[in-house]
Amino acid sequence: MKRQAYKLIASRLGLALLTLLIVSAMVFAMTGLLPGDAAQQALGQAATPQAVAALRHQLGLDQPALQRYLEWLAHIVRGDFGVSLSNSLPVSELISTRLPNSLMLAGLTTIVAVPIALAIGVLSAMYRGSWLDRGLNILTLSTVAVPEFLVATIAVLIFAVKLHWLPALSYLSSVSSFGDLIRIYAMPVMTLCCVLIAQMARMTRAAVLDQLNSGYVEMACLKGASQVRVVLRHVLPNAIGPIANAVALSLSYLFGGVVIVESIFNYPGLASLMVDAVTNRDMPLVQGCVMVFCAAYLSLVLMADLCQIVSNPRLRQR
């Protein structure tokens, strides 16, 4: 049994690495298809053709695409993302300065969103068909339909412009107390939580309902077990795998949502760094940021997959 589980986990790890390799090729190809010339962008419009040619040779842009990709991939494996064209600093150094800020934002959003979403999903499934279930379904559907930029704009208009409760921009350098930390993160976290909670709650509801329709739940009810006991004692342990998948897939939304949120609130995170790199056509920095986002997304999906393998004995027997 353990050997089969280890083989299954090893196969999942292999698939994750293969996916990351395919993603790296796609990222390298798509950044290479962007219009303009990186050397010309770095030197400016006043640069001479000789200077542009010299910089292209220095950056290896005059080499075949396959050779450049293989060299870039070899450096990525060693943790070397290259040098930024905008400020001549190592890309890994720039990422390391911004990544903790993005992780902090994602961590606070997760701490707030996951318990609320799980509670909404479980309650909606327990009282399916009731006025509470219908009300929560309408609320979650309405929230999913609202884009992040609209939520952020309305939040700024209400809490920053009208009420003057919260700052419109998230300047981390102005944090001097715990109250300042709460005020600065309040609107970015609220914006991300709006859609995140709705998605996670609906997926959790579906996972719990699937278990509530099982035969063992009917048997537990026939034995006189209360609905709360059935859900807490029987349903939730068997729904850990699907719920973990729901949480991981919902949290992966953060990697797209933070791009909008960090741009609107001027939050100094990895997503805003990537947006600036795209604007400046800083290809090494764009590639490094995208690879970090892809690796984080695959890590979340892999952890959810492993949780499902551990919680479901049938998967370990395949």
Q: Is 58 domain-assigned?
A: no
Q: How many CB atoms lie within 10 A of CB 89?
A: 12
User: Looking at residues 53-59, what average pLDDT do you find?
Assistant: 71
Q: Is 166 domain-assigned?
A: yes
Closest to 252 measured CA to CA, from 299, 205, 287, 189: 299
Q: Is 123 domain-assigned?
A: yes
User: Looking at residues 123-145, what average pLDDT do you find?
Assistant: 87
pLDDT at 284 over 70: yes
Report DSSP letters for 203-230, one per residue.
HHHHHHHHHHTSHHHHHHHHTT--HHHI
pLDDT at 145 over 60: yes
Q: Is 234 domain-assigned?
A: yes
Please report, for the domain that includes residue 167, its CATH number.
1.10.3720.10
Average pLDDT, the chain: 81
Measure the CA–CA gap between 117 and 202, rounded to whole angstroms.
8
Q: How many CB atoms lie within 10 A of CB 170?
A: 24
Res 23: pLDDT: 87
Measure the CA–CA gap between 201 and 230, rounded to whole angstroms.
20
User: Looking at residues 132-140, what average pLDDT do you find?
Assistant: 88
What is the share, in percent, of the chain residues with pLDDT greater than 90?
A: 2
Cα–Cα separations (whole angstroms), residue 114 to 66, 118, 132, 171, 199: 43, 6, 20, 26, 11
The answer to whether 98 and 288 have CB atoms below 8 angstroms apart is no
Q: Is 30 domain-assigned?
A: no
Confidence grade of residue 42 (pLDDT, cut at 50, 70, 90): low
User: Looking at residues 154-174, what average pLDDT do you find?
Assistant: 83
Confidence grade of residue 47 (pLDDT, cut at 50, 70, 90): low
The answer to whether 296 and 274 have CB atoms below 8 angstroms apart is no
Spell out a b/e string for 7-29, using b for 16 or more CB atoms within 10 Å of the CB, else e: ebbeebeeebeeebeebbeebbe
The set of long-range contacts for 19-23, using a CB threshold of 8 Å and a minimum separation of 24, is 19/298, 20/294, 20/295, 20/298, 21/73, 23/291, 23/294, 23/298
Q: How many CB atoms lie within 10 A of CB 144?
A: 16
Res 311: pLDDT: 66
pLDDT at 226 over 80: no
Q: What is the dihedral of CA 183, 93, 33, 76, to 10 degrees?
A: -120
Measure the CA–CA gap between 235 and 207, rounded to whole angstroms.
9
pLDDT at 75 over 80: yes
pTM score, whole prediction: 0.81
pLDDT at 265 over 80: yes
Structure-block tokens of residue 305? 């997959």
Q: Is 206 domain-assigned?
A: yes
Based on the structure, what is the number of domains in the chain?
1
Range of the domain at 195: 91-312
Q: Is 112 domain-assigned?
A: yes
Q: Is 39 domain-assigned?
A: no
Res 116: pLDDT: 92
